Amino acid sequence: MRVFAIADLHLSTVTPKPMTIFGPQWAGHPQAIWEEWRRTVHEDDVVLLPGDLSWAMRLPDALVDLSLLSALPGKKVLLRGNHDYWWPTAAKLRAALPADQHAIVNDAMRLGNVVIAGSRGWVTPGHDPLNAEDDRLLAREAERLKLSLQAARQLRQPGDHFILMLHYPPATPPYPANPLLSVIADARPDMVIFGHLHGVSPERVMTHVNGIPAHLVAADALRFKPKLLLDTGDVAAS
pLDDT at position 37 = 98
Q: Of 139, 183, 178, 136, which is closest to residue 164 (Cα–Cα)?
A: 183
Task: Map out the domains of the chain as residue ranges.
Answer: 2-231
- pLDDT score for 236: 57
The span from the CA of 199 to the CA of 201, in Å, is 7
C-alpha 204/C-alpha 85 separation (Å) is 28
pLDDT confidence of residue 238: 53
pLDDT along the chain (238 residues), means of 10: 97 89 87 97 98 97 97 98 97 97 98 97 94 97 98 97 98 94 97 94 86 96 96 71
Q: What pLDDT does residue 225 have?
A: 97
Q: What's CA 190's distance to the chain center, in Å?
A: 15
Angle between helices 132-155 and 179-187 (to 10 degrees): 10
Q: Which CATH architecture is the domain 2-231 placed in?
A: 4-Layer Sandwich (3.60)
> What sign results for the dihedral spanned by CA atoms 139, 125, 181, 208?
positive
DSSP string, the chain: -EEEE-B---B-SSS---GGGG-GGGTTTTHHHHHHHHHH--TT-EEEEES--B--SSHHHHHHHHHHHHTSSSEEEEE--TT-TT---HHHHHHHS-TTEEE-SSSEEEETTEEEEEE------SSSPPPHHHHHHHHHHHHHHHHHHHHHHHH--TT-EEEEEESS-S--TT----HHHHHHHHH--SEEEE----S--GGGS--EETTEEEEE-BTTTTTTPPEEEEE-SSPPP-
pLDDT confidence of residue 137: 97
* Claim: this prediction has a pTM higher than 0.75: yes
Apex CA 195: angle with CA 190 and CA 27, to 5°? Answer: 135
Question: Alpha-carbon torsion 62, 17, 27, 221, what sign?
Answer: negative
